[in-house]
Amino acid sequence: MSTYYLAIDLGAESGRAIIGTLDGEKLSLSEVHRFSNGPVRTPDGMHWDVLRLWTEIKAGIAAAVKSGVSPMGIGLDTWGVDFALLDKDGGLLGNPFHYRDERTDGMVEEAFKSMARAEIFSQTGIQFMQLNTLYQLIAQARKSPKVFEAAETYVSVPDLFNYWLSGELSNEFTHATTTQCFNPLTREWANGLLETYGIPSRLFLPVSQPGTILGSLLPAVAEETGAGKISVVLPACHDTGSAVAAVPAKNQDFAWISSGTWSIMGAEVHEPVLDEKALEYNFTNEGGVFGTWRLSKNIMGLWLVQECRRSWQSHGEDLSYDDITRLAREAQPFMAVIDPDADMFFHPGSMPEKISKFCAESGQSVPQTKGEIVRVALESLALKYRLVLERLEELTGKRLDPIHIIGGGTKNRLLNQFAADCTGRKVVTGPVEATAIGNVLVQAIALGQVGSLKDARAVVRNSFEVETYQPQEKQAWDEAYQRFYDISGCKTGQGI
């Protein structure tokens, strides 16, 4: 007998409502609602439009009901690090800021004035990135401290929507671990660290694990959407956590890349890795599902290509991603390399010019055509994958093979082949909808329809096709890797 689940998956570019139908050991997905997402600029900075997103979430629930199914559960996941503050009545104190807002510029360095880098890492196990919740909160403490006086509760973005869905306040585990405010050893908020920076620790709730049933859909939401009594379930509310839960791995020692706006690359481990090398290499330890941890690193990802496309669209050239990839495939290989994670690529705008500028300032050939610019970006992403893989293997003491690539970026077959060629490893891609699949399967485990994470991954293998890429040419990649290694600062110890 089939059972149904509703996954609400909010990404940085778009959101979807997806029905998962579990029929024995097979899962199928059906998208019932899709909507755009993106930043909104106001005089005080860059924000997320959470009220519009809330309207779209309810529209997604209504669309699921209209399709004729009765979901057992609803689970919601989003990108990491962003948050909201609520007052004593549960009211929203302002629109949540977008992680690319410029208010965090310089906040990492500001943090080191009060606590050493090594000490922050020992208490949190998180890589240093200015977008982290910690630096957003430090910026808040420096620029608008009175907001903390009015605030009663900290909630991540998915915590906020789960509160509006169920009426229950919680801080979900996988999201909490992305913040650089959570101690992975004590499994509690790093209260001493928070107070050091003037961030009230009283705002933070005890964490709730993935697989927790929060409650039922609020009557008002059920009435507005036409839904019945649906259980609101916590999946891995961080989208990467849900995606990794859906990796169709047969073995334990694999590497994974969640490929999309960000390429997040890592390994699944059972305890956080907090040694000096993890600190030196700026790796992160984020919570996974059912006792797992993700030892990983954020890489700028297809953001580079997305921003190039936006820039060309603003000049009246509306190229599809297929068009852009074809131009890159036809372009000259290895004309230049960039560090995808250089600071200049973090903020939106003028990405083609930024890539050309990086190449010029590093004394390389400067890409001129659209294809050349995108090829430089894609080759450089593959080179960064190789660097991260080498360091993952050093940190875990294991050979990680194969590399599983999941998420929307799996559609870029050129990048997938580059990844295989550059690393010399077999690359297995799929499923594309890994985040929604992981979301649904954690709900199914919580509601007793699937036994374990191992069983869930078997369902993924039974249900979705994958594509395999074998490494081919290697010598040219080896030569490019040496250039990348030098230009990205690794040779001098500056690169991360």
d(CA 439, CA 6): 9
DSSP E strand boundaries for 87-183: 153-156, 171-172, 182-183
The closest of 391, 397, 429 to 412, measured between CA atoms, is 429
Q: What share of the chain is helix, strand, coil (3-state, %, to 5)?
A: 40, 20, 40
Helix (H, G, I), strand (E, B) or coil at 53: helix
Check 239, 339, 341, 421 and give the catalytic one.
Answer: 239
Question: Is 239 an annotated catalytic residue?
Answer: yes
Q: Please, are residues 4 and 70 in contact by the beta-carbon 8 Å criterion?
A: yes
The closest of 318, 307, 303 to 350, measured between CA atoms, is 307
Please report, for residues 86, 374, 415, the alpha-carbon distance to residue 322 in angstroms, rounded to integers and kept in the order given.
43, 12, 12
Q: Could you tell me the strand order of the sheet in which 3-10 lies?
A: 26-36, 14-23, 3-10, 73-77, 231-233, 213-216
The closest of 346, 368, 357, 352 to 312, measured between CA atoms, is 352
d(CA 164, CA 175): 17
Active-site residues, by number, are: 239
